[in-house]
Structure 1
Amino acid sequence: MWIARWPLVFAFAALASAAPVGKSHYGIVFDAGSSGTRIHVYTWRTGGGGPKDAFDLVSDELLKIKPGLSAYKDRPSEAGASLEPLLAFARSKIPAELIASTPMFLMATAGLRLVGEATKDAILASVCGYLGSTGFLFRCEWATLLDGRDEGLYGWVTVNYLLDALYPGGAQPAGTIDLGGGSVQIVFPTPAVAPSSAPAELSQRLDFGGRSHALHVTHKGSVVQGAGDYRRCKKLTKRLFGVEACSYGEGIPTPRPPGVYQPPLPKRFYGRLAHARPDRQVPTASLYTTELRTGFSYMFDRTAAIGLLDQKPVTFGAAEMSRDDIERAAKAVCSLDQAGAAARFAATNDAAKAANFCGDTVYIAALLDALGFDERSTMTMTNKIKDVELVWTLGAMLAQSSALASGASGSHFGALSWLALAATLAGLWYFCLGPGSRPSGPPRLYNRPPP
């Protein structure tokens, strides 16, 4: 387990005052993943002069190419040039006279974490040299390896921006949960004053449009195997989360993730995995689950794959279900042996992944249980807010554009620390059960086929 802490600040007041009212702006974020690299070309307008008017999203144009940058580990000097098709796409979307003022950021995720330090540096050096010659606004420090924690924070910004929850007088900020192939990242607001027993090293301050927050980080890895018995599988899977009594003092609830102080869950959860409606008295009464196009959300994918979404009424692209629904579906899927699972899902687009469905759904149910969500919690599966895809790159674009407008040059959270705005104190706790918590998706827990 390891813990880290950074300041995280956004200065939208500066962004609003620095840009002409009504002017269109462009920015680029490369999401360099393990299987490919996706470019997001963002267009936004500035409005009136207040924080809420500083970033009015117009569009997100995207294109993905394969393979990912990590595929160039044996020939890293070629990595930069591999991005040319994406740059051609960007040039087709941005007026030629604005190319030189369009900032460009490349953030690499899982793939580059596995190639070794020297190879990673060589690949990023190639990217730096190539992108620096394109005519776009680019600095070498803007090509970085994105930590999973940062990805979770950017996702939180995306969700709360789309909920109009980042500014004074806006909606109450929501918490987010991102269930990924190798990690679980959770960010949620806490009371204005945390208990004195809460460990300071787990706190992360965030100032955004007049609000401040604190965040958690921790990583833990584990592997589990089973034999298709749902109850035993869930029991084993819950051990991954280390649910136990908390040692940080009175008034701190359980269950909690391993080694992590967890404040009470808020009433409002949204985003990568869950959202509780603020009008309910029970914190876990109503949850919304979402799938992100980063490829890191099993919640939406797996419930859709096993047919659970098909059994629920769909309204505005969203389907409601409870944690109990997920558990019953998991029991049904886990009762199949591998041959039965292959036959059951043979006609679906996810047939090749059928061997993972039992483990996936058990893992989801166990996670919600371990975090303290009630089995009657109502969840709504969706992948958009206001018809905008929920992707961490939007949060990254918001952060970087505000930093540039305010005179900062860094490309990560720490670089924005001096931009703090006076704000009402609140809190965000962020923790991540990180790379290795499961090798490539939840464990396979099917009955063995008969001899």
Structure 2
Amino acid sequence: MLRAVAWSSAAVLGVLVVALFLLLLTLAKDAALPARNKYGLVFDAGSTHSSLYIYCWPGGKENGTGVVSQLEVCRVEGPGISSYADNPAGAGASLKPCLDKAMEIVPAEQQQETPTYLGATAGMRLLREQNSTKAEQVLAEVAKAIGQYPVDFRGARILTGNEEGSFGWVTVNYLLETLLKFSFTGTWIHPPAEDVVGALDLGGASAQITFLPGTTISDSSTRALLRLYGTNYSIYTHSYLCYGQKQALKMLMASLHQGNSSSPHISHPCYPRGYQENITVAELYDSPCVQAPSTPSPAESLSVTGAGEPAACSAAIKELFNFSCGANESCGFNGVYQPPLQGEFFAFSGLYHSLHVLNLTGGQPLSLVNATVRQLCNSSWQKVQKQFPSMSSSQLRDACAASSYTLALLLHGYRFDSKTWPHIHFVQQAGNTDVGWTLGYMLNLTNMIPSEAPQTVVGLQRSNWIAATVLLAVMLILILCLLTAMCCHRGSSGYERL
């Protein structure tokens, strides 16, 4: 009877051991296989061009700060989609080569679950002001083109200026891990509020400034309330439409023309000496940002020559701004409320590119930046062509105007000075990811930034392995004890028979 019980117990324990062993194998297999990456696509439909950003992140990991990475960025050939107002189908067709490229990168079995967005910025905001019907037709055509691909398309829309600024701020701070970070002890920690940085963005048609002020924001139209990782942020943000680089330089040219509208000749103080070009009045006044003369002659040709005068260039650019604060005790420009600057700032897009061509994005002091820009603006056309042989003619022509405008916007528009200038960091990327509004936009719309910090980490932990190992050892000991008892019983029975 004892022998039967022993063998029965051993059999049960054996089955349990085998089951536990198979379970451990399954868990080990699951732990060894990496979780399948997830993907997201975002079109940045800017005023001068469009780009497709391809992001990925670990699918089996609780979302934390900095887990999203940029796989690829595809620049769309041709101008921005707002330029296709009279050919909406062309706007959709222009996106297809980049979508084809994305389909080569995203695994075929995951494409239908890949969230895809298109966000249009100031160029489309201007087109909507000019002709809302044409703006809607362009959006419809780009949506139609994207909808032909096997992705989870979630719409194409025009962002507000404050959204653009806020999403850019989220992107920068997400990548810098100033909102939340995972400590080496395995816990989530909230960095202090003073660690968050401001965001300065300059596009072709608008400019955005966003930061966390040290005071209450008195103008609600410039306040954005965000709850990120369980923390509330009341940030200041404002977008200046028409003060993007392309539109600002167009306003500058129009101002120079209207200063002597009776003459078909424009002497441009920001263009290099010796540079010449012809433009038409229609080209000059083709934007709602530029007020046309009362009696324009669209076909009239204007002769533009470069004068290369740094002081006159700076003065002409300052005329584009109204630096009077009016009723506001604190403002940026054009009477728009702006609280005092606070903290560090990351400047990207046009602000970065306009100074990077002059190697001025490495933290150089303001005095050196000013001197380098003055030297450029005092150069001849032949000299800049030799100095920057890889730059296109239009980039060379605008280099002085663009860098001078950047300085005017930052120093006089946003009120930075020699003391706060070192707090501006000019960057194109952070964490190998382009800085801009697209990542923040995707994070927001995919709910990848939770309102509260994750409390647990999913997966097989070290403690689970220890417990399983101890259990296995105990079961093996029990089996050995039973087998020993059986052998002893067998030996005892034999002795008695003798």
Question: Which bracket does the TM-score occupy, shorter chain normalised?
Answer: 0.5 to 0.7
SS state at 1:241 partner: coil
- Aligned: 1:182 with 2:205: yes
- Cα 1:149–1:382 change in 2 (3 A) is same
| Residue 325 (structure 1) aligns with | 368
* Displacement after TM superposition at 1:33 (Å): 3.5
% identity of equivalent residues: 28
Q: Which residue of 2 aligns with 1:369?
A: 411
Contact 2:212 2:342 in 1 (8 A): yes
Cα distance, 1:230 vs structure 2: 3.2
Equivalent of 1:238, from 313, 318, 322?
Answer: 318
2:216 equivalent among 194, 217, 232: 194
Greater alpha carbon shift after TM alignment, 364-373 vs 225-234: 225-234
Contact 1:22 1:47 survives alignment (8 Å): yes
CA contact (8 A) 2:166 2:224 kept: no
> 1:71 deviation in Å?
5.3
Contact 2:362 2:426 survives alignment (8 Å): yes
Higher Rg of the two aligned structures: 2
1: CA distance between counterparts of 2:91 and 2:359?
41
Summarize the Cα distance change of 1:239–1:94 in structure 2 as closer, same or farther, 3 Å threshold: same
In the alignment, which residue of structure 2 is the partner of 1:12? none
Letter in 2 for 1:334: C
Indicate the residue corresponding to 1:211 in structure 2.
232
Would you say 1:125 and 2:140 are equivalent positions? Answer: yes
Q: Offset at 1:267? A: 2.3
Deviations 1:138-186 (A, max 9, x none): 24xx111234443222221111111102236136110011133333210
Contact 2:213 2:236 in 1 (8 A): no
Structure 2: 5+ residue stretches without partners: 1-33, 181-188, 243-250, 257-267, 270-307, 454-498
Q: Relative to structure 2, which stretch is displaced further, 85-94 or 370-379?
A: 370-379
Using a 3 Å threshold, how does the CA distance of structure 1 residues 343 and 75 change in structure 2: closer, same or farther?
closer
Change in Cα spacing, 1:361 to 1:133, as seen in structure 2 (3 Å) is closer
Task: State how 1:4-153 maps to structure 2 within 5 Å.
Answer: 22-34=35-47, 36-45=49-58, 49=62, 52=64, 56-67=67-78, 68-70=80-82, 72-77=84-89, 79-112=91-124, 113-114=126-127, 116-139=131-154, 142-153=155-166
Instruction: Report the secondary structure of 1:397's partner residue.
Output: helix
**What is the aligned residue count?**
343
* Secondary structure class of the residue paired with 1:330: helix
SS of the counterpart of 2:224? coil
2:379 to 322, 336, 355: 336
The offset of 1:104, in angstroms, is 0.9
Compute the displacement of 1:82 (Å).
4.5
Q: Measured at CA, do residues 358 and 40 of structure 1 come closer, stay the same or move farther in structure 2, by a change above 3 Å?
A: closer
CA drift of 1:319 comes to 2.1
Counterpart for residue 401 of structure 2:
359
Judged with a 3 Å threshold, the aligned counterparts in structure 2 of structure 1 residues 355 and 341 are, in CA distance, closer, same or farther, namely farther
Equivalent residue, structure 2, for 1:170: 191
Aligned-residue Cα RMSD (Å) equals 3.2
Q: Could you report, residue by residue, the CA deviation over 1:1-54 in whole angstroms, capped at 9, with x for unpaired residues?
A: xxxxxxxxxxxxxxxxxxxx95522111122345544222211125765x636x
Q: Distance in 2 between matches of 1:322 and 1:83?
A: 41
Aligned partner of 1:313 in structure 2 is none
Change in CA separation of 1:87 and 1:372 when aligned onto 2, cut-off 3 Å: closer
CA 1:47–1:269 in 2, change beyond 3 Å: closer, same or farther? Answer: farther
Within 2, Cα distance between the matches of 1:41 and 1:165? Answer: 23
CA 1:202 to 1:155, structure 2 compared with 1: closer, same or farther past 3 Å?
Answer: closer
* 1:390 CA displacement: 1.6
The aligned residue for residue 431 of structure 2 is 386
Q: TM-score, normalised by structure 2?
A: 0.60
- 1:91 is paired with a residue whose SS is helix
Going from structure 1 to structure 2, the CA distance change for 1:400 and 1:236 (only over 3 Å counts) comes to same
Q: Which one has the bigger helix percentage?
A: 2
| Larger RCO, structures 1/2 (Cα 8 Å, 6+ apart) | 1
CA distance in 2, matches of 1:122, 1:247: 41
SS where residue 215 of structure 1 aligns?
A: strand
1:194, CA displacement in angstroms? 0.6
Structure 1 contact 319–382 (Cα < 8 Å) conserved: no
Structure 2 distance, partners of 1:163, 1:75, is 41
Q: What aligned pairs does 1:387-406 form with structure 2 within 5 A after superposition?
A: 387-402=432-447
CA distance in 1, matches of 2:375, 2:392: 17
User: Structure 1 residues 132, 216: closer, same or farther in 2, change over 3 A?
Assistant: same
CA distance in 2, matches of 1:347, 1:80: 34
1:366 offset after TM fit, Å?
2.1
State the AA in 1 paired with 2:345.
F
Is this contact kept in 1: 2:166–2:210, CA < 8 A? yes
Instruction: Judge conservation of contact 2:208–2:240 (CA < 8 Å) in 1.
Output: no
Aligned to 2:447, the other structure's residue is in SS state helix
Distance 1:323 1:350, change over 3 A: farther
Q: Is the 8 A contact 1:383 1:390 kept in 2?
A: yes
Q: Is the 8 A contact 1:345 1:354 kept in 2?
A: no
